[in-house]
C-alpha cells in the first residue's frame, strides 16, 4: 500500500527547491585590468569597434561566496542578448574592450562574463554591465593614482603599498593588487580587485582577499592605444603565403 506523502512536505519541496538549488553569492569583485601590463606579455590588437580609452579596463564583475572564498558561477542558463547592451556600447567599447589578437569586437568576452557571473548577479543583462561600467567610472583608479604622482612610466618604479594606499584613500576600502611579470621578469601592476556589496553599488572591505605575488616595488607599464596592431582575424592557415625566411 502506498504511503501518502504529507501535503505540507510536497508544498515545501515545490516552493523551496528552486531556492535550495540556486547558488547564491555574497559580494562582487570588480576586477580592473591595466592593458599596459597585459600587452607586454602578448601582442595586442585594436578592437574592430575602434580605439578603447587609454585607461583601466573592466575585466569583470565577479560573483563570490564570502564563506568559501570561491566564485559563484553559471547559476542558470539565462541567454545573452547583445541587443540588450546597445545603450552601453560606447562605454563597453571604451572601457570593456578586448585587445586580444586577432582584432575583435569584444562580444564573445561579454557573453562569457554574462554566462559565467552575470547570471548569478540577480541583475538583468543591461543592469549588470551598467553596474560594472558605473563602478569603474566611480573608482577611476587612473585619476586616483595620478593625484599621488603615480603615472605609467618606464623610468620609475612605485611602492606596491603606495599604489594600494592611493586607491584605498580614494574609495574608502582596501583594494587588492595583482602583478604580472614584464619582459625582463620585473613585477608590474596588472589587475586591481575591489570588493562591492551585492547591491552592485557600494564599495566594501573585502570579506575574502585573493592573494597574489608582487615585489615591494613595481612598474606601471605605459599603454598607448596607438600602438595596438590592426590585425583582422587570420585567414585559413592553408591560404597563408609561405615566409621568405
Ligand atoms: C532590466 O531592468 C531595468 C531596471 O529594472 C528595466 O528598466 C529593463 O526593462 C530591464 N530589461 C529587461 C530586458 O528586462
Identify the pLDDT of residue 117.
98
Q: To which residue does cell 500500500 refer?
A: 1
CATH T-level fold of 23-231: Ribonuclease Rh; Chain A (3.90.730)
Tens digits of residue pLDDT in 94-145: 999 999 999 999 999 999 999 999 999 999 999 999 999 999 999 999 999 9
pLDDT band at 238, cuts 50/70/90?
A: low
Identify the pLDDT of residue 41.
80
- Measured in whole angstroms, the distance separating CA 128 from the mean position of its chain's CA atoms is 12
Exposed / middle / buried, residue 186 (Cβ in 10 Å: 0-12, 13-18, 19+): middle
- 27's enclosing H/E stretch is strand 27-33
Identify the pLDDT of residue 210.
93
Identify the pLDDT of residue 203.
98
Which positions ≥6 away from 210 have C-beta within 8 Å?
29, 176, 178, 193
Cα gap 128→134, rounded to integer Å: 10
Q: How many CA atoms lie within 13 A of 245 on its CB side?
A: 0
Residue 211 has pLDDT above 90, yes or no: yes
Neighbouring C-beta atoms of residue 102, cutoff 10 Å: 13
Identify the pLDDT of residue 30.
98
Query: Which residue's alpha carbon is at the smallest distance from atom 3 of ligand 1?
Result: 127
CA of 84, closest atom in ligand 1 = 13
Query: Which residue's alpha carbon is at the smallest distance from atom 1 of ligand 1?
Result: 124
Q: For the residues 83-97, what does the mean pLDDT come to?
A: 98
Query: Which residue's alpha carbon is at the smallest distance from atom 14 of ligand 1?
Result: 124
Q: For the residues 151-163, what does the mean pLDDT come to?
A: 97
Domain ranges of the chain: 23-231
Q: Which one of 118, 127, 128 would you pick to mutate in the ligand 1 pocket, going by the greatest count of ligand atoms within 8 A of its CB? A: 127
Which positions ≥6 away from 124 have C-beta within 8 Å?
84
Lowest mean pLDDT among 7-21, 55-69, 109-123: 7-21
Amino acid at each position: 500500500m502506498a504511503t501518502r506523502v504529507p501535503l505540507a512536505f510536497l508544498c515545501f519541496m515545490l516552493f523551496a527547491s528552486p531556492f535550495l538549488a540556486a547558488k547564491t553569492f555574497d559580494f562582487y569583485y570588480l576586477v580592473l585590468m591595466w592593458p599596459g601590463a597585459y600587452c607586454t606579455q602578448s601582442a595586442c590588437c585594436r578592437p574592430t569597434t575602434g580605439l578603447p580609452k587609454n585607461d583601466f579596463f573592466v575585466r569583470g564583475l565577479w560573483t563570490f561566496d564570502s564563506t568559501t572564498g570561491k566564485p559563484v558561477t553559471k547559476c542558470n542558463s539565462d541567454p545573452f542578448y547583445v541587443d540588450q547592451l546597445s545603450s552601453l556600447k560606447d562605454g563597453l567599447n571604451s572601457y570593456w574592450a578586448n585587445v586580444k589578437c586577432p582584432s575583435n569586437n569584444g562580444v564573445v568576452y561579454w557573453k562569457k562574463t554574462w554566462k559565467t557571473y552575470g547570471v548569478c548577479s540577480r541583475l538583468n543583462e543591461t543592469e549588470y554591465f551598467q553596474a560594472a561600467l558605473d563602478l569603474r567610472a566611480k573608482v577611476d583608479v587612473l585619476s586616483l593614482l595620478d593625484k599621488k604622482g603615480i603615472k605609467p612610466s618606464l623610468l620609475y618604479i612605485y611602492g606596491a603599498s603606495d599604489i594600494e594606499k592611493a586607491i584605498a584613500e580614494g574609495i574608502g576600502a582596501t583594494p587588492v593588487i595583482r602583478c604580472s611579470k614584464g619582459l625582463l621578469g620585473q613585477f608590474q601592476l596588472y589587475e586591481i580587485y575591489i570588493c562591492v556589496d551585492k547591491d552592485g553599488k557600494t564599495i566594501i572591505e573585502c570579506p575574502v582577499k585573493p592573494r597574489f605575488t608582487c615585489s615591494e616595488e613595481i612598474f606601471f607599464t605605459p599603454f598607448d592605444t596607438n600602438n595596438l596592431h590592426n590585425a583582422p582575424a587570420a585567414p585559413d592557415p592553408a591560404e597563408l603565403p609561405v615566409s621568405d625566411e
